[in-house]
Amino acid sequence: MADQVLDAKGLNCPLPILKAKKALKGMAAGQTLAIEATDPGSVADFAAFCNQTGNELLSQSSEGDVYKFEIKRT
């Protein structure tokens, strides 16, 4: 179970990334953030975001039109 959940459904680029960053900022290292988004671009964008910031992308999946991510704050 993630420490925090972010509902980014219905939001378009770059809002899911901006909101995820804001949430991660307030979390402690080692805590995890679960994100749900509907922006298809978020799949590539969260991978790039994690590569660049060093936060760990634990998992990525999709269910219907919803893309799910789990990111560990480092």
Partner 1 sequence: MLDNSDLDNAKSMSIIVTKGSLDWAYPPFILGTTAAAMDVDVTMFFTFYGLPLLKKKLDLKFTPLGNAAMEMPMMGTHIAMPNIVGMLPGVGSMAGSMMKNLIKKKGVASIEDLREAAVESDVRMIACQMTLDLFEYKKEDMIDGIELGGAATYMETALKADINLFI
CA distance 20 to 36: 10
Tell me which residues touch partner 1 (CB under 8 A).
Answer: 10-15, 17-18, 20-22, 25, 39, 48-49, 52-54
Do residues 70 and 32 lie in contact, with contact meaning Cβ atoms separated by under 8 Å? yes
Nearer to partner 1, 1 or 53 (CB): 53
Q: How far is CA 73 from the centre of its chain?
A: 10
Q: Confirm whether 50 is a catalytic residue.
A: no
> Closest separation between CB of residue 74 and partner 1, Å?
8
Please state the closest distance from residue 2 (CB atom) to partner 1, in A: 19
30 SS3 class: coil
CB closer to partner 1 out of 1 and 54: 54
Question: Which DSSP helix (H) or strand (E) runs through 61?
Answer: strand 56-63
Q: What are the catalytic residues?
A: 13
